[in-house]
Amino acid sequence: MNEFYEFLTGPALWAAFIIFIVGLSVRLTYLYGISRERDRVFYNHVNLKWAFGSIIHWLIPFGSVSLRAQPVFATAFFLFHLCLLGVPVFLLAHNTLWQEAFGISLPSLPDSIADALTVVFMLAALVLLARRIIRVEVRFLSSAWDYFLLILTSAPFVTGFLSYHQIGPYKLTLILHILLAEILLIIIPFSKLGHIILFFFSRASFGFEMGRRGARTW
């Protein structure tokens, strides 16, 4: 098990990050090429004011009419994404790994705050899962893959929480935590989870199109 841990925190970690970065880059390049080929007229209406307006209003909690109409979902949605991005990047234990693997270190959250944010994330994930099951229109559009992605995204937080509090076999939960996180990184560029980057381009494109018509996207 020690050898597997060394593999996961060494070669596998590097491979996961390389696939994550290269995969997203290739996907962005491909989609940009397709859009330039099929939607040439679209680029005649580029307007940065409308693009930034569209992006910012969808990044701000309750910044759009759609989100204000669903306060419970909007709250869970923003907490989910805030913790999803913030906890892994600013967790002290992860910063130690960043330092060892890449020679970089970021400001770190106190363990107590990171622990609390992990609980918030898990609660938010449960709300989003319940919404997919309860709301008929959302359930109709959800596939098994959508449920799998939500569970996979949440799994590193659950196993990390169990590992930190030493609930269950520590070594096993730690290895599962690292393994699931690396699987998640590898899957992101090739799935809907790629919206962590594609979101900005899709919102900008909506901003261009609606701005041309003089109508807000938010």
**Any idea which residue has 């080929």 for tokens?**
37
CA distance linking residue 161 with residue 117, whole number of Å: 10
Work out how many domains the chain is built from and give that number.
1
Three-state secondary structure string covering 82-122: HHHHHHHHHEHHHHHHHHHHHCCCCCCECHHHHHHHHHHHH
Residue 29 pLDDT: 92
Looking at the domain assignment, is residue 121 inside a domain?
yes
Looking at the domain assignment, is residue 126 inside a domain?
yes
Domain that holds residue 152: 2-213
Q: Is pLDDT at 81 greater than 80 in this prediction?
A: yes
Looking at the domain assignment, is residue 44 inside a domain?
yes
Q: What are the backbone angles phi and psi of residue 109, rounded to the nearest 5°?
A: -80, 145
CA distance linking residue 50 with residue 177, whole number of Å: 41
Tell me the sheet residues that pair with 109.
Answer: 91
Degrees to nearest 5, angle at CA 175 with 147 and 84? 45
pLDDT interval class at 53 (50, 70, 90): confident
Residue 83 pLDDT: 96
The pLDDT tens digits of the residues spanning 160-201 come to 999 999 999 999 999 999 999 999 999 999 999 999 998 988
Looking at the domain assignment, is residue 167 inside a domain?
yes
- The arithmetic mean of pLDDT across residues 32-36, rounded, is 84
Looking at the domain assignment, is residue 86 inside a domain?
yes
CA distance linking residue 183 with residue 196, whole number of Å: 16
The pLDDT tens digits of the residues spanning 102-147 come to 777 788 999 999 999 999 999 999 999 999 999 999 999 999 999 9
pLDDT interval class at 79 (50, 70, 90): very high
pTM for this entry: 0.88
Handedness of CA 116, 117, 120, 125 (dihedral sign): negative
Looking at the domain assignment, is residue 218 inside a domain?
no
- Amino acid, res. 9: T
Residue 122 has a CB neighbour count (10 Å cut-off) of 15
Residue 69 has a CB neighbour count (10 Å cut-off) of 10
Looking at the domain assignment, is residue 177 inside a domain?
yes
150-179 b/e (C-beta count within 10 Å ≥ 16 → b): bebbbbbbbbbbbbbeeeeeeeebbbbbbb
- DSSP code of 188? G
Q: What is the CATH number of the domain that holds 157?
A: 1.20.950.20
Looking at the domain assignment, is residue 78 inside a domain?
yes
**Any idea which residue has 């709300």 for tokens?**
127
Check if the beta carbon of residue 4 is closer than 8 Å to that of residue 175: yes
Average pLDDT, rounded, for the chain: 89
Q: Is pLDDT at 217 greater than 80 in this prediction?
A: no
